[in-house]
Amino acid sequence: MHIKKIMLFERQCLIWIRQMFRWRSAGLLLICLSASSVYAQTVEAILPNGIVATADFRPAAPARPAIVLIHGFLQTPNYLTTISLANAVADAGYTLLAPTLSLGINKRRKSLPCEALHLHTLQDDVKEIAYWVDWLATRGYRNIVMVGHSYGSLQSLVYVSGTPNTAVNKIIATSLVDFEHSAGEDNARAQIGRAQAALQQGINDPIEFPLSYCKTYVAPATAFLSYAEYTKPGILKAIANTKIPLEVILGSNDKRMALHWPRMLRENHAHVSIIEGANHFFDAEHEFDLIDRVLALIDGNQVVSPNVQPF
């Protein structure tokens, strides 16, 4: 197949797959995935810590923006929200690099359960993001846009708030949330205090904590705190330290954020767009609103659909 025909075929597959459970057509799904794999490359890299990490790489013209897409918490780029964005970005002719954050596992291919032993830290994630951005920049891509979903947005934000590669020119953070609201503000403070108390007692054995959507997240206190410390003040501090444009896209029905979260972000100089009726994952018809908004922001186009309200 010619690559352009494959891209068009894959877009049609996205429509077909939505009907797959009604049609019960597993064969159709396999055909779509086979076509997609023709032009997507899986690249491997040995990280400085010795872990072998992988990424979905779909190269295009270096003159156009290149997108580094970071998946959500404990997931992979094949998660529904991120795979939809990945396919749309590649179909639009942009270079795509979608790493699978290793979480300390060689060639990780599957999402991790909450109850697994989690020794990875947010700082480990950020170092991997930095590695992949540098990997892309050394291949001649000098206009890089970071795109994240959920905790992938937070990890990308923490990366750009430090000393990002000079090729990074923008960050688009979708469903940017924080541990504080996910766990409940009182409970979040209690859990952070519990972890800090354990460290003060010299205890860094695995403990069960709530984190993100996990009610039982098993990790040492240091690993837990690396994520949990990004309550609202932590996120706003990262925004204040970010020197490149920050675009935040939220769903009006996202239950993982406080009602005043968009206002707080806006007051701290983030550009915020709200997709009316969308939840945390922008599923169903809101998937297209999200894609349209992300593609518009990549090239700086501010034209939005009626369902998207920019702040």
Q: What is the DSSP string of 133-176?
A: HHHHHTTT---EEEEEETHHHHHHHHHHTS---TTEEEEEEES-
Confidence category of residue 64, pLDDT binned at 50, 70, 90: very high
pLDDT, position 303 = 47
Averaged confidence pLDDT in the chain: 87
Position 5 scores a pLDDT of 37
Question: Which stretch of 32-46, 169-183, 275-289 has the lowest confidence by average pLDDT?
Answer: 32-46
Integer-rounded Cα radius of gyration of the chain: 19
What kind and span of H or E run contains 11? helix 3-18
Q: Which residue has the higher pLDDT, 14 or 272?
A: 272
Q: Is 21's pLDDT higher than 70?
A: no
Q: How large is the average pLDDT for residues 99-110?
A: 97
Q: Is the pLDDT of residue 32 over 50?
A: no
pLDDT of 40 reads 75
Range list of β-strands (E), the chain: 41-46, 52-58, 66-70, 95-100, 144-149, 168-174, 207-211, 214-219, 246-251, 271-275, 308-310
Pick from 166, 169, 39, 147: nearest CA to 93 = 39
Per-residue confidence (pLDDT) for residue 228, from 0 to 100: 95
- What digits encode the pLDDT tens for the residues 139-167? 999 999 999 999 999 999 999 999 999 99
pLDDT on residue 31? 39
Which of 4, 77, 66 has its CA nearest to residue 35?
Answer: 4
Q: Where does the pLDDT of residue 276 fall: very low under 50, low under 70, confident under 90, or very high at 90 and above?
A: very high
Beta bridge partners of 99: 55
Is 227 in contact with 179 (CB distance < 8 Å)?
A: yes
- Asked if residues 137 and 167 have their Cβ atoms less than 8 Å apart, the reply is yes
- Whether the pLDDT of residue 247 is over 50: the answer is yes
pLDDT digits (tens, 9 = 90+) for 249-262: 999 999 999 999 99
State the residue for tokens 């904590």: 209
pLDDT score, position 39: 63
φ, ψ dihedrals at 48, nearest 5°: -55, -25
- Edge-to-edge, what's the strand order for the sheet holding 168-174? 41-46, 52-58, 95-100, 66-70, 144-149, 168-174, 246-251, 271-275, 308-310
* Per-residue model confidence (pLDDT) at position 81: 95
Residue 273 in tokens: 């767009």
What amino acid occupies position 13? C
* Of 40 and 27, more confident: 40
Model confidence at 8: pLDDT above 60: no
pLDDT confidence tier of residue 30, bands split at 50, 70 and 90: very low
The helix/strand count (H/E) of the chain reads as 12, 11
First vs last Cα of the chain: how many Å apart?
Answer: 43
This prediction's pTM: 0.86
State yes or no: pLDDT of 225 exceeds 50: yes
Q: Can you tell me the distance from the alpha carbon of 33 to that of 30, in angstroms, rounded to the nearest whole number?
A: 5
Burial class (CB in 10 A: 0-12, 13-18, 19+), 45: middle
Q: Look at 1 and 113; give whichever has higher pLDDT.
A: 113
HSE on the CB side for 201, CA within 13 Å? Answer: 10
Select the more confidently predicted residue: 9 or 126: 126
List residues bridging with 272 in a β-sheet.
248
95 three-state secondary structure: strand
User: How many of the other CB atoms lie within 10 Å of CB of 177?
Assistant: 26
Average pLDDT over residues 276-298: 96
pLDDT at position 19 over 90 = no
**Assigned token pair, 144:** 């890089």
Q: Which residues pair with 247 in a beta bridge?
A: 172, 271
Three-state DSSP state, 209 = strand
Predicted confidence at residue 157, as pLDDT, reads 98
Q: How confident is the model at residue 3 (pLDDT cuts 50, 70, 90)?
A: very low
